[in-house]
Each structure stands twice: as structure tokens, then as C-alpha cells.
Structure 1
């Protein structure tokens, strides 16, 4: 730059006044260019994360909650929307869906997203959904459980995974839709009901958990794989942001700085993940700071 590198304070001022809605839109447009055309199954996991380090009782600031869209097949973040509280995810998810360019995608959301308006929006955009059913929708949960007990599954398969001193068994039963008319009318595009029975054995201790899902996909789909892939947003995005980028330690609170720097971290993460080298993300990040040629190569993606 003509007048040298901007100071720390100048960078902070710029990002504090930058319009976050505009920055989010531009980020999402850029993130869509990173999609690999060879990836056939576009599963997008929607999940939220709280940036705890922004809480400050002296300055009366609260943590911000960010709802993310994570492309499982492309291993990249496609976008984010800020909310003030986790309970506001219900209103933030439709906003995020409106911004996504997700043609032909499968949208995977935890129970917070199992709302009739969100279901309708996904189907209206000609996408598919796999949504968790938990106790926040008690009547629906009870009806789904009754349907699974009353009917015979169309598909029933089991996966066993051993490692780290434990044995995990996941039984996936897929049922054709068979809810009472009221639910089927409200859940647009409903085709399948899925029951996952997960058993974990660690030594002499055995624990079992039943989880239920609804989907617009037909019963022949590999639901166990799709449902498990949702948790990649936890490991590949949320865990990485905290452990590699130390997001929970961030203290930028002025105006829009926290939200905008969160986008910058996702830009850096997406670029680092596009490098297929053997190093982990932490040394790649250090290398980008020390090696100008490597940094330029990253920015070419």
C-alpha cells in the first residue's frame, strides 16, 4: 500500500463500521465459487455457535450467537447469520436459507429447525431436508415414535465402529411417512421417518439412545451417513475456530467488529482447507504468515 500497512487500530475501526450484512453477502457469493463440481451429494449442515469471549459484565456486552451453513462435501463454510441468543436460531435460519445458493442440496438441521415455516421454505426452494425431532416438538415426537412402533421399516441396517477403547453400534430404521393427517399437511414434502438407535460400549458400561428424524428424501437414501455427517460442522468448523483461531478468546466488541472478524476467520479457514498439503491447519496458518509465496498461492483459490 502507498502509505504502508494499516495499523492495528485502523483495521479495527474499518471492521467495526463495515456493514456486516453486505460483508456476509459478499462472503457467501465468494464461498459458492469454492464448490467442487465433482461433489455429487451436497449436504449442508446448519448449526449455531456462541462466541463466549465477547461477554463482559463491566462493558455490559453479551456473547453473540452465529448460525452457520457448512458444506459437508466441500468441507467449507458457506455463510453465517448473527443472532443475540441461541433461542433466536428459529428466526435466523430462514434468513440464512434465503442467502444460500444451494441448488439440489440436502439441508440438515437439528431440532431447532424443525418448524413448519422452515420446512416449507426448503421445499419451495426445491431442496431436500433431514430434520431432527426432539422434545421441543413433543406432539410430533410422540407421533413419530408411535409411527415407528406401529409400522414395519422399509430399510433396516446396522453399522459398527470400534476404536479408542469403545464400540459404537448405530442401527438405522427407515419408515415410509405415516403420521396423522394434520402433521403430514403441515410438514411439506415429508416422505420418510428415520429412527437411529445408537449403542456405545466402554468396558462394562453400555448406553443406548434413540434419535428420530423426518425427511423429504425417499426411503432408499443413506440416511445414517447423512445424519452422521451433520456433526462435521462441530469438528471441522466449531472446534477448529476455537482451537486453531481461538475464537472464544476474541475480545473485539466495538460496533460490528465481532461479527465481521468472524467472517474473516471463515475466509481464512476456507482458504486453508483448500490446500491439500499434509500439514494440519495450525502450521498452515503459521506458514501463511511467514511465507509470502505460500500466502499468495492460498489467495489464488
Structure 2
């Protein structure tokens, strides 16, 4: 009765318009049926919220993810030097304690320049990111890009997988690679000749001075040959001063990189990594209410996240209205023409 393409188009249109659960999506469809029929027949009308939930619970998330990545590849062009941040996020509303099902953890790749999610891979637990990241990398075209990862992704196999994709990496080094961290700290403790890049940030009620030091002199870095493509190490020193209290704190973090570049490029890549937190994860949580929505059955939470990421991409790529993301969703709910504009490049 309800062709899959009609269901998917209904959900994308409704989520664009601020609907965040199956009931509101079905209500949107019934109220906008004539508008929807400009695109698809909807001969049997709009499915109920129960039907929508069952379809998304049953849909194969891996196949849907592959289709999503292919769709993104058709609309986004990655330029040389673009930072692709990879990080994981737990969908907290997807757990089912009564059924013994833990919440899904999704590893996403986010192109900071294009402001778009390139692909995702689901795992059962955060610790499984190490196996999910190479599988995700294998699905992406990354030649000329800079891939950034937090300490969880600082693994030799992952560094090698990035180099095989003809991309570069900047990987955070923490205590999960204790020996490597000790070696990097040792090199900077020897006060090698380094280049420096200093940036200031006076937002969020504090003043932050960030100094990036980088060196390609790895003579005293033991086991450097074990890390594919390793050419540079970097140290970021963050000095934060609270504007109100005047209290200050200093924190150092360390990175390894395949880039043969100065601290400015590395510092920019590290700053760009946080776009995946601010522009993707935070947006899914706060604007698309991902964690608050209870989608516990089957694969529903994973598949809904793909729909939300598609809607977010369409909203991000609309630039004429100058509205915020929440306001664009509100306008799409009220203005059929604006909703059609958001969808025009894709349907």
C-alpha cells in the first residue's frame, strides 16, 4: 500500500518541517497530502505512526547508510585540505533496558567545510569505535583531505587506513597510547626547534590563548616507523582565564600527524575537528531532539538519524533566507514554497 520512496519522502519533508516522531510525521502527511502529491502519488494516503515505526525498525541500517553516503557524494565536493572529523555519539533514546538492548553508538564522518555528514557506522558500544572507523573510512572518498580523530582513533591500523585513502591525519595522543604519549612529551621536553602559532578566543565568558607548537624533527621519537605516514608531532597549550573570577588554568594536549606542514595548518585542523560536536552532534540533540525521542524498536533510531542528517544537510545548504536552523524548520512547517525550495535540488 505504501511504497518505500513515498514513506522516505514523507519523513524527510516532515523532519525538515520540525516533526521529530512518528505521530507528528503522520499528522504532517495528512495535513500536507495535496502538497506531497506534487512529488509522489500517495494513492493510499498517509501511513499511520505505527506503520512508520515498523518500517524504520525493519529497514536495514547498513544498506540505508550506504545509500545515504552515495546521496551525500552526489551533492558534496570535497576540496583539497578539507578537514573530515570522525567521532562517535550515543543515541541515548534508543536503549531498551526491558529488552536487554543497549543504546546504539554511531561513528560519523563530518566534512567541516561542506558542513555535511559524509557517512556513519553503527556499533554496539563506544569501545567498538576502533573497528568501526576503518570500515567507515573504506566507504568514503577522502583523497587530499585531512582526517581528524580523538584519542580513541589513535591507532596504527587507522593511521594506515587513512594513508591508503591518500589522505592525511591529525590524531590526538592520550593515555590509551601511553608509550607514544611519553615519547611525544619527551621530544617536546628536549625543546626542539619548533614553529609556533598563537590564537586568541574571547568568547563564552573566558579568554583562551592557544599556542600550537609543531616539529618534524622526529629523530628522538622511538618507534616512529611503526606509525604509517608519521611526519610531524604537535603540542597545543591552552591557557584559559575566566573573565569574571580572573582564575586561570593551563592544559597541554598532544597530536601526531602525517602532514608536512607548519603549526597553522595543524592548529586549524584541530579547531575544525570540534565542528562535528557543535554542528552535528549538538544540532541532532538540541534541534532535532535525537536523545529525547524514544525510538527503541529494532533499527528505528539508526534509520531516523539518517533522515535527520539528510534534513540537516538540506537546511545547512540553504543560504538565502539567513535564518537559524530552528527558524528554517519552523518556516518549512508553515510555508509550502519554502519547503519546496529546501527540497528542490534533491527531488
TM range (shorter): over 0.9
Q: Report if aligned partners of 2:196, 2:213 keep a CA contact under 8 Å in 1.
A: yes
CA distance in 2, matches of 1:207, 1:201: 7
From 177, 199, 223, give the equivalent of 1:159. Answer: 199
Which residues in structure 2 correspond to 1:41-120 (within 5 Å)?
Answer: 41-120=81-160
Residue in structure 2 matched with residue 12 of structure 1 by the alignment: 53
Task: Give secondary structure in 1 for the equivalent of 2:75.
Answer: coil
More displaced, 174-183 or 195-204? Answer: 174-183
Residue in structure 1 matched with residue 212 of structure 2 by the alignment: 172
1:37-70 Cα deviation digits (max 9, x unpaired): 6x55311000011111223333333111110100
Residues 254 and 22 from structure 1, CA distance in 2 versus in 1: closer, same or farther, beyond 3 angstroms? same
Residue in structure 2 matched with residue 208 of structure 1 by the alignment: 250
Q: Report if aligned partners of 1:177, 1:190 keep a CA contact under 8 Å in 2.
A: no
Residue in structure 2 matched with residue 23 of structure 1 by the alignment: 64
Q: Report if aligned partners of 2:214, 2:232 keep a CA contact under 8 Å in 1.
A: yes
CA distance in 2, matches of 1:90, 1:280: 35
1:231 matched to 2:274? The reply is yes
Task: Give secondary structure in 2 for the equivalent of 1:242.
Answer: helix
CA distance in 2, matches of 1:161, 1:258: 37
Cα distance, 1:151 vs structure 2: 4.3
1:217 matched to 2:259? The reply is yes
Cα distance, 1:33 vs structure 2: 2.2
Residues 110 and 5 from structure 1, CA distance in 2 versus in 1: closer, same or farther, beyond 3 angstroms? same
1:66-119 Cα deviation digits (max 9, x unpaired): 101000000111111111111111011011101112221110000111111111
Residue in structure 2 matched with residue 245 of structure 1 by the alignment: 288
Which residues in structure 2 correspond to 1:283-298 (within 5 Å)?
Answer: 283-298=327-342
Cα distance, 1:179 vs structure 2: 5.7
Cα RMSD after superposing both structures: 1.6
CA distance in 1, matches of 2:112, 2:54: 34
Q: Report if aligned partners of 2:187, 2:221 keep a CA contact under 8 Å in 1.
A: no
The structure having more radius of gyration, on CA atoms, is 2
Task: Give secondary structure in 2 for the equivalent of 1:207.
Answer: strand
Q: Report if aligned partners of 2:96, 2:102 keep a CA contact under 8 Å in 1.
A: yes
Q: Report if aligned partners of 1:144, 1:212 keep a CA contact under 8 Å in 2.
A: yes
Task: Give secondary structure in 2 for the equivalent of 1:250.
Answer: coil
Q: Report if aligned partners of 1:48, 1:65 keep a CA contact under 8 Å in 2.
A: yes
1:164-204 Cα deviation digits (max 9, x unpaired): 43110001100114165752221011110000000100132
From 166, 170, 192, give the equivalent of 1:130. Answer: 170
Q: Report if aligned partners of 1:129, 1:217 keep a CA contact under 8 Å in 2.
A: yes
1:226-269 Cα deviation digits (max 9, x unpaired): 10111111110111101100000121122211111111111111
Count of paired positions: 300
Residue in structure 2 matched with residue 184 of structure 1 by the alignment: 224
CA distance in 1, matches of 2:246, 2:51: 59
More displaced, 253-262 or 189-198? Answer: 253-262
Q: Report if aligned partners of 2:235, 2:254 keep a CA contact under 8 Å in 1.
A: yes
CA distance in 2, matches of 1:64, 1:278: 34
Q: Report if aligned partners of 1:154, 1:219 keep a CA contact under 8 Å in 2.
A: no
Task: Give secondary structure in 2 for the equivalent of 1:211.
Answer: strand
